Amino acid sequence: MDVSSANVRNLSVCLSFFLFLTSLTVSARPVLAQSQKPVVSYEEKKRQANDIAVTVIVSGLSCTCARFTEDIRNVVNDLGPDGVRVLPILGVGGLQNAKDVLFLKNVDMAVVDEDNLRLLKKKDPVLYADIEQRIQYITKLYNSEFQVLARNDIRSYDDLRGKKVNFNLKDSQTEVTADTVFNALNIQTQRSYYDNDEALKRLISGEISAMIILTGAPQAMLAKVKKEDGVHFLPLDQESLPNHKLGELFAAYLPADLTHEHYPNLIAEGTTVPTIANRALLVAYTWPENSPRYKRVAKFIDAFFSKIDQFNNPSRHPKWREVNLSAEMPGCGLSLRPNGWPPTGIRRCPPDRTTRSTKLLPS
C-alpha cells in the first residue's frame, strides 16, 4: 500500500513537470516566431543589391569631382530594398569618362566637362554623330578652373615656349583643355603626361617648368604648396598676353579667378590670378526608356534633387554653392521639374534638334 501511494505521488509529480515544460514551449513559440526574420535566398539578395545600384565614373582621388561624388554618395545612399546606392568609379577623366559612359556596360553616369561632347564629335564626326542622343546632362555641378603652376623664372605663358610642361594624363580633362589653350596661343612646349603627384615633385625639383591642372579650386594637393617651393600661378588674360588674340578662347570658356582664399600660401591677400574655367557636368547614359537601368537612374535623380539642400552645409565641398539647377547647356539633358519631384525622366532630343539647349521644365 505504501509503495503504491509513493508511485502515484511520483507519477503525479512527473506529469505536473511535463505539463509545466509543455506550457513553456507553447508560450515561447510566438516569441520565437516574432523574432525570426524571413529567409531571403541568395538570388533574391543579389537581385536586391543590383536593383538599387547606380555607378558614377570620375577622375582621380585628387579631383574635385571625386569629392563631389563622395558627397553625393553620403547624402543619397539608402541601402534599403527600395533605396539608392551610389557607386563611384575612379577613371581617367576628360574624354575617357565620356567614352566610358558610352561604351562600358555598367557605367550609368559620369562627371565630365562641358566641352567633352563637342570635342569628341570634332575628333570623329561619324562615330560620335548622335552623341547628344546618347549622353544627357543631369545638372551643372561646379566650375573647373584652369590652373598653371610654374617656376618663378616663368613670368607668362609666352615664357613656356619650348619648355617642359606637364599636361597631366593623356585624354584627361586637363590634357584636353590644355591642348585647346596652348594651340589657341600658338605656344609649342615639350609635353609630359605625369600624374599630379609626380608632376609636382618634378616641378619643385626644376625638372619641368610648369604643370597644368583643370579642376575645381582649391585643389587639395596644390593647397599644400608653399611660396618657398619657388612656384607661382600664371595669369591667363589679355593684360598678361598682350600679343595674343584671346577672343575665341574667352568665348569658349568662363572667366575665373584664383584667389587668396583658394591658395593662401601662394596668392597674396587682396590679389587674384585671372584664368578661365570649364563647367563640370553630371551626365547620364540614355538607357532605353522603362528599362531597369533607366528606372535606377530616374530613382537616383529623384533622390538627388529631393536632398539638394543637404549639400549646402560646411561639411560638404565649398563648390556646392556653384551648383546651378537651371543652367542651360548645349545639347540634350534630363528634363526635370524644378518645383516638384519626381523628375519627368530622361527625354531624348528629336533628330532634327540635336543642338538645342535643354532646361529644367516647369512643373
> pLDDT tens across 268-310, in order?
999 999 999 999 999 999 999 889 999 999 999 999 999 999 9
Position 259 scores a pLDDT of 96
Evaluate whether 42-142+280-353 and 144-279 have a shared fold: yes
* Model pLDDT for residues 91-150, shown as the tens digit of each residue: 988 789 999 999 999 899 999 988 888 888 888 999 999 888 899 889 889 999 999 999
Mean pLDDT of all residues belonging to the chain: 83
Give Cα 150 distance to the centre of its chain: 28
- pLDDT tens-place string over residues 171-230: 888 998 999 999 999 999 999 999 999 999 999 999 999 999 999 999 888 999 999 999
pLDDT of residue 190: 98
Q: Is the pLDDT assigned to residue 346 strictly greater than 50? A: no
In a 10 Å sphere around its CB, with 0-12 CB exposed, 13-18 middle and 19+ buried, how is residue 171 labelled? middle
- Between CA 353 and CA 357, with CA 114 as vertex, the angle to 5 degrees is 25
* pLDDT confidence band for 32 (50 / 70 / 90): very low
Residue 355 pLDDT exceeds 50: no
pLDDT in tens, 64-89: 889 999 999 999 999 988 899 999 99
Q: What's the pLDDT at 87?
A: 96
The domain spans of the chain are: 42-142+280-353, 144-279
Fold held by 144-279: D-Maltodextrin-Binding Protein; domain 2 (3.40.190)
Question: Bigger pLDDT: 330 or 340?
Answer: 330
> What pLDDT sits at residue 360?
27
CATH architecture entry for 42-142+280-353: 3-Layer(aba) Sandwich (3.40)
State the pLDDT confidence band at 17, using cuts at 50, 70 and 90. Answer: low
